[in-house]
């Protein structure tokens, strides 16, 4: 490129980004634009603005006074042929403005569904390509269940793959049955589920980290808990805290003699 001579690509880019000049004949055709808007619909308010779209093409904006359409605008596009003075209506439409009242973006139902929302009587189909599952009639990728026929697919068409199991384990561990749950943090430090006689380990690769609580008196009964979860119903709780009557703090005994009869 010669010094002082602009590059053709740079000049073309400036031409594309240059704001089009407002066509005065089209800009003055407000009444014609209003008539076109009134033919298109109701609620035509005051004229708001006119903007140049390209050479000899402008858009007139009118306020929309229809109930429920706050911030919306009637838009009418006008154009004219080269060397012609008469404006022609290209199109008209009701469009949202910058502060228009609009409904939220639509989200598919499958993406709106949150964990635990499938209730009694409801049905949630599982996609054939669910990335948490894999065909059960193939070799399992879980070494801990290779010798268990059920995990290999006998009786089931699909089983959870490694990704699905890892996602589940993390969700359980971070939830209300993990080590950071309030009930676990309030329990004595040694009272962990993994050492409790009521802890029933799960099968397969989950065995080392999770099990089901089988203590009738625990609030976690029949729930999956992590091995480092804990509560005050541990089978060996008496080894961790003094549970004898002497070790239990008693309140002051108060006698209520109101209404007593003196003999």
Q: For residues 29 and 54, state if they share a domain.
A: yes
- Tell me the per-residue pLDDT of 144-158, one tens digit each, with 9 for 90 and over: 555 565 555 555 778
Number of domains observed in the structure of the chain: 3
- Provide the token pair at 26: 């089209």
pLDDT of residue 57: 95
Q: Is residue 183 part of a domain?
A: yes
pLDDT of residue 1: 47
Q: Tell me the pLDDT of the chain averaged across its residues.
A: 82
Q: For residues 84 and 33, state if they share a domain.
A: yes
Q: For residues 148 and 174, state if they share a domain.
A: no
State yes or no: pLDDT of 4 exceeds 80: no
State yes or no: pLDDT of 94 exceeds 90: yes
The residue from 138, 160, 182 where one domain ends is: 160
Q: Rounded to the nearest 5 degrees, what angle is found at the Cα of 260, between the Cα atoms of 255 and 261?
A: 145
- Provide the token pair at 132: 């948490």
Q: Is residue 234 part of a domain?
A: no
Residue, of 193 and 141, whose pLDDT is higher: 193
Domain of 151? 128-160
Residue, of 17 and 127, whose pLDDT is higher: 127
Using only C-alpha atoms, what is the Rg of the chain? 37
């Amino acid at each position: 490129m010669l010094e002082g001579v602009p590059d053709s690509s740079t000049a073309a880019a400036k031409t594309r980004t240059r704001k089009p000049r407002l066509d005065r004949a089209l800009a003055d055709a407000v009444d014609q634009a209003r008539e076109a808007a009134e033919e298109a619909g109701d609620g035509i308010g005051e004229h708001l603005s006119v903007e140049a779209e390209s050479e000899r093409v402008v858009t007139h904006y009118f306020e929309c006074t229809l109930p429920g359409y706050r911030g919306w605008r009637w838009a009418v596009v006008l154009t004219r042929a080269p060397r012609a003075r008469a404006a022609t209506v290209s199109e008209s439409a009701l469009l949202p403005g910058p502060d228009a009242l609009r409904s939220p973006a639509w989200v598919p139902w499958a993406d709106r569904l949150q964990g635990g929302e499938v209730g009694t009587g409801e049905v949630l189909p599982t996609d054939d390509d669910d990335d948490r599952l894999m065909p059960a009639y193939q070799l399992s990728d879980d070494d801990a269940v290779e010798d268990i026929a059920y995990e290999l697919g006998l009786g089931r068409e699909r089983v959870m793959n490694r990704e699905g199991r890892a996602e589940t384990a993390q969700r359980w561990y971070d939830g209300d049955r993990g080590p950071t749950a309030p009930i676990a943090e309030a329990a004595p430090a040694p009272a962990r589920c993994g050492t409790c006689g009521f802890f029933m380990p799960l099968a397969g690769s989950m065995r080392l980290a999770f099990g089901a609580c089988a203590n009738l008196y625990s609030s976690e009964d029949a729930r999956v808990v992590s091995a480092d979860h804990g509560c005050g119903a541990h089978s060996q709780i008496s080894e961790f805290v003094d549970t004898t009557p002497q070790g239990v703090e008693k309140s002051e005994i108060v006698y209520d003699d109101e209404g007593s009869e003196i003999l």
